[in-house]
Amino acid sequence: MAFTTSLARTLCRLPSGLRVLLTRMFLLPPGSSKRLLTYAKLYINDYNLDNLGWAAPKVNAVVNLVKSQTAAGVPIDGIGSQSHLEAGGSSTTLATLTQLATAGVDVAITELDIKGASANDYSTVVKACLSVSNSTPLLFDGNYQKKAAYTAVAQALA
């Protein structure tokens, strides 16, 4: 489920009644998607959800949107963060993932690139993911077992 940045910005600025109407137009009716997509997980996935500093208004708006929609019965399984960072920019990752997790759904880093990164930047992101209980963005599960994605990535790099 894609949720564009421009739509998120627009929804945040609208009066609450109009926001609810537009949100219902873009999200699936409660229960319908789970019947149609039994095995799929539905995520709101967007960029600029990777920094609780300068992007805090957007992070908080998405958290509030997910809370209100899941409370209304919309089957949202998670929030995905397309993380495009600069070297040294991983320091806010833990705080940001922790805030996203307050929505009560899974949290995943669905894209990650760190321009000019050191190994420490990637280590910081992985440690942040492991610290958030409902964060599942890694190639390993909660028991440190390889996910199918691990083999796919290893084969692609071979």
Instruction: Give catalytic residues, as residue numbers.
Output: 111
The strands making up 43-47's β-sheet, listed across from edge to edge, are 43-47, 78-86, 106-115
Whole-angstrom distance, CA of residue 20 vs CA of residue 64 = 12
Yes or no: say if 30 and 71 are a contact pair by the CB < 8 Å rule: no
H-helix segments, the chain: 5-13, 16-26, 32-36, 56-71, 93-101, 119-131, 148-157
